[in-house]
Amino acid sequence: MKVKRFEDLFVWQKGQDLAVLTYDTYRDNRDWSFKDQICRASVFVSNNIAEGFDRESDPDFARFLTIARTSSNEVKSMTYLAYRLGYIDQHTKDLFIGTTEEVSRMTLALRKSLSK
């Protein structure tokens, strides 16, 4: 069965979950530039999946999936920094790392499936 809407992609849903987790976690953080960067990166994940979904070709979609994956890795990198800066605790760090790794795996798997 072919997916007809980007909203039905589990990876898009997981990307949305990552953005909500990010906004909830950093809602009260006063490091505005850090907060802005990690929030923007988290939103780019699902937005790039959505934008790429309706592209004219699988290679175009694959390019947007790569961008989504790199945005997820940016959130992952910033999570390590947030932990080192004391913005988040170990549990929250582990939650973010697990979520970003899942999004990364899912995005890569979908990208690979396009080339089959």
CATH number where 41 lies: 1.20.1440.60
In this predicted structure, what is the pLDDT of residue 81?
Answer: 98
Which domain range does residue 104 map to?
Answer: 10-114
Around Cβ 19, how many Cβ atoms within 10 Å?
19
Within a domain: residue 4?
no
Using CA of residue 35, residue 73, residue 66, residue 11, what is the dihedral sign? negative
Within a domain: residue 110?
yes
- What is the full per-residue pLDDT of the chain (116 aa) written as tens digits? 588 999 999 999 999 999 999 999 999 999 999 999 999 999 999 999 999 999 889 999 999 999 999 999 999 999 999 999 999 999 999 999 999 999 999 999 999 999 87
Q: Report the number of distinct structural domains present in the chain.
A: 1
Within a domain: residue 1?
no
Within a domain: residue 88?
yes
| Packing angle, helices 58-84 and 90-114, rounded to 10 | 170
In this predicted structure, what is the pLDDT of residue 1?
Answer: 59
CA-angle at 48, arms to 83 and 99, nearest 5°: 35
Within a domain: residue 19?
yes
Within a domain: residue 15?
yes
Within a domain: residue 2?
no
Within a domain: residue 94?
yes
